[in-house]
Each structure stands twice: as C-alpha cells, then as structure tokens.
Chain A
Amino acid sequence: MVAERRRVGPVEAIPENGCVLVRLGQVEVGVFKVRGVLRAYLNRCAHQGGPVCQGEIVPRYEEEIGPGGESLGVRASATRLDIACPWHGWEYDLMTGENIADRRYRLRAVPVSVEEGIVYLEVP
C-alpha cells in the first residue's frame, strides 16, 4: 500500500500534552504532542471502534507499595500520559499506543514528521 503524505499545519498549533484531530477524507487521525514529541493515531479504538482520540488525556496512575506490603496510596505519574476512549474508557499509552490493561491491543499509529516547522502525516 502506498502511503500518502499530507500536510497538517504548523507544529506550534498542536498544544503541548494535547491533541489536534484532523479529518482526511474518511480517515480521522489524532495528532498528539507528548512532552514535545509528536505521535499520531487513527481515531478508532481497538475495543469497539470508538473515537479514542477524542477522549481525555490523563496521567497514568501509579500505586506505591511500602516495605511491609501496605499501599502508600495512588498518585498521578509526572511523566506518563495516556489517552482514554470516551466510549468505554479503554486507556492507551500515548508514547507507544499500547493498551495499558492488555498489551495485546494497541492503537494504529500513523507516521508523523516535522519539516521546517510543518507537521506531515503519512496516511495509509
């Protein structure tokens, strides 16, 4: 399959730790900027096809365990961000596209690049 290169727009228009959803004909792609790094995924959840890229961007939760096995409480990660599908809450690591509960599932990544400050997608 020949991929098609499509221009999205200036890189600064994509908010830090945020997303811009773009429509290219029948295909929708979420373009994310995660701590300065661009990632792009098809807007289709691996669960039931939900609009995953329209969901909430949330920090990964971590639970720390003390030396005696006791929970020291739940806190939000300072570094890891996930995207949660608004249909059912399936949650994916934004950097890798992997589902955080079941790594057999992942989002379909779309190659994204920046040239002279302009974001491009390689659309399948």
Chain B
Amino acid sequence: MADVITADTEVVSDRRRGILANARREAEARRLDEVLIVDVDCHIMETLRFKDLVPYIDHPQVRRIVERYPSFTSIIPGGGGDREVAGRIFRDPPIVASYGHASPEQLLEEMDTIGIDYAFIFPTPMLNLGMSPDVELEVALAQGYNRWVTDTWLQVSDRIRALLYLPFGDADASYREVVELGERRGVEGFMVTSARTTPVHHRSYMKVYAALEERGLPIGFHGIVQWREGALAQLNRFLSAHAIGFPLSNMIHLANIVINGLPQRFPRLRWIFLESGLFWIPFIAHRLDNEYRMRPSEAPLLERLPSEYIRDFYFSTQPLEVPERPEHLEMVMDMIDGRRHLLYASDWPHWDFDLPSRVYDLPFLSEADRRAILGGNAAELFGLPTSVARRPGAGGDGR
C-alpha cells in the first residue's frame, strides 16, 4: 500500500491497530476530561493470568488443575454464544482484549484513553462459575481470584477498585471472604454472579448480608446469560438469549430480595444491579406492585410497595437502551429515581460496552444529572474522592 501515500493523505496501513483512538476523540469533543467519571463495571481476563492464582488457592485438586491446564474451559461452565458476531466485533490486540484486560497497566492506559477516573474490575469467565455444580471449585477459585486481585491489581493504583467475588454456592465461605478481605485496599464491596440456582433469600446468607451491612460494603449482582438454562434454551439466536438472559438473571434476585423483605431486615445494606440496562426495572417494579396489592399475605415483611424499595437500589447504566424518543428513557429514569441511583458503567472491553458519551449525550439530563450518573453517585456510594484522578495529557496514543 505504500505507493498510495501522497503529500495529501496518510494511509493507515494496519486497520486493526488503534481501534480505541476514536474514544479519545469522543471524550475531547465533550471535554470529558474535566468530569469525574467512575466506571462501576469493566472486565479483566483472569484466566489469562490463571497460573498467578496458584499460590492463593488452598484446595489441592483445584490448585493442581490451575497449575496444569492452560485452558479454563474444561472447569468453568461457559455461558454459550458468540459475542463477536462471527468476527465482526474485535479489539486490539485481537481476541485477548475482547474478553478482558490482561494487566493493570493496560487497564490504566485504556481508562486514560476513554476518560475514566476510577474503574471497578470484575472477572470474565468466572462470571459463569455460579453454575458449576462443584461448590468446592467455586470457593477455591473465588478465594484465589480475590486474593490475587487484592494483592496485585488493587495495589497498582488507587484508580482501580473492585467488588470481590462472593462464592455464593457456600454461604460460610462467602462470609469468610467478607470478614477477611472487606477492609483491604481498593475493596469497595462484593459481587454475586447472577446465574446460579441458590435463592438469595436463603437463611444461610443472612450472616453475609449482616457482615456487609456492618462494614458499609454494598453488594452487587452482576447479570449474565446461561443460554442452555431453562426457558432460554428455546431461543435460537444469541441476540435473543443475551437480551433476555441478562435482565432475567437479575430480575429473579431482585424479586426475591424485595418480596422476602431483605431491605427491611438489612436497612443500611446498599444493593446494586449490574449490566442489565434499564428498561426491565419499571417492568418488574410495576408488576410486583400489582401482584403485591393482591397478595400481601405472601410478603408480610413489606412496609412499602415493592417499587418503593426498588427506588432505593442502585443500577449500572450499561448497556443503555436509547430509544427513538429519548423522553421514554427519561420516564424510565424518573420511575427508578435514576438521577440519584444510576451508576455509569462501560463494560469495556466487552461487545456491548458504553462510552461515557452515551450518558453525557442524553438530551434531557441537566449538567448536574450527567455528572451525578457519570461519577457523582458512585463517588458518594463508595466514598471515592470527588476530584478528577486522571493523569493530565495521558492517553490519546491510539490504544
């Protein structure tokens, strides 16, 4: 292609390089470097560094597996489905980055490019671990992941934070993780992967919620799709399974939490629901209200309507549905008290990520509302500094 170059134009010879460069242009066009932006959900590729977990894994059999097998697919159940639409969606470097950040250094560089001050990291393949029938495996990998993350990623920079993995297959083990790691640097709360079969109102979890509440640590539920499970197995296209699976996985936990009166039992515990968009929330809120009015005897702990509890919950924005008529989204945000309870999330580098501009460009938000959703609400919820933390002039190198 070199013969194409003239004095007038510069030919970009490798079209696969620098595909995040446009994110920097979008941020600069909106002067987002002056706005505090907290990304409450981005992903690392923990299995790329699986061997680094070995020293942190106590269980002898799981440790041997992680030591010996370069591939994780044989032990962690897959959610099923081709995220990349047969290669149409890709990242740079290829494959690796389409699933998650490989190192804290790469994450920080990409945060600077996109314009993110603080990022909350989550695992990627381990989001499916809640579906493993092997509870000892879930516990051992969770312990390994949590200690590896707190010893490495969270030590590199104050800008990297985490909701650690709760091995919810075992309530006692979950409780121990909160007690042992809840005060560690960069640990802002704990996370339950939403694809699982154990109901979150089971009595064994009460000590976990109490331990979180006592420490002021929020609990997050991260949506996920398990295509082969239950009703989802009828859906032939990943588009449909993904669209329904993520909110469904969170909707089930939200209903159990509200109807079993967990917010009554743990009034100071903050609940967060991640990666399911927003339009499902008014649906489940109104539907629960309607049924609760007919069957209050099934929810004797409630002192308010289900929707009133839901208005106290926090939700991440991604993947944000922007309808043809933005006023429809404005109505949804009003219904869930979004201006105070929505938390921007990128989900970068996953296939349906949102840049901060997705929120910033909503025509009905005031400047104060934009800033609240992009970072202010998260700063208040997690007690983060409220000033911009990015390195001046960083980023923009095309990565």
Contact = CB atoms under 8 A, between A and B. Distances in A.
Q: Do A and B bind each other?
A: yes
Nearest to B5: A9
B348 to A, nearest CB: 10
A51 B22 CA distance: 6
A20 B85 contact: no
Contacts of B10: 22-24
A6 B11 CA distance: 13
A10 B3 contact: yes
Contacts of A44: 22
Interface in A70-103: 84, 86-89, 91
B12 A28 contact: yes
Interface in A37-73: 43-44, 48-51, 53-56, 58
A43 B22 contact: yes
Interface residues of A, number: 33
A55 B354 CA distance: 18
A35 interface: no
Interface string B360-388: 00000000000000000000000000000
B88 A13 contact: no
B87 A56 contact: yes
Contact of A56 (B88, B351, B357): B88
Contacts of B278: none
A86 B355 contact: no
A21 interface: yes
A9 B132 CA distance: 57
B15 interface: yes
A75 B353 CA distance: 29
B6 A89 contact: no
Interface string A6-31: 11111001100001111110001000
Contact of B15 (A19, A48, A58, A87): A19
B21 interface: yes
B4 interface: yes
Interface of A: 6-10, 13-14, 19-24, 28, 43-44, 48-51, 53-56, 58, 84, 86-89, 91, 104, 121
27 contacts: A7-B7, A7-B8, A8-B6, A8-B8, A9-B5, A9-B9, A10-B4, A22-B9, A22-B10, A22-B12, A23-B9, A23-B11, A23-B12, A48-B26, A48-B355, A48-B357, A51-B22, A54-B12, A54-B16, A54-B19, A56-B87, A84-B85, A86-B89, A87-B353, A88-B351, A89-B351, A121-B9
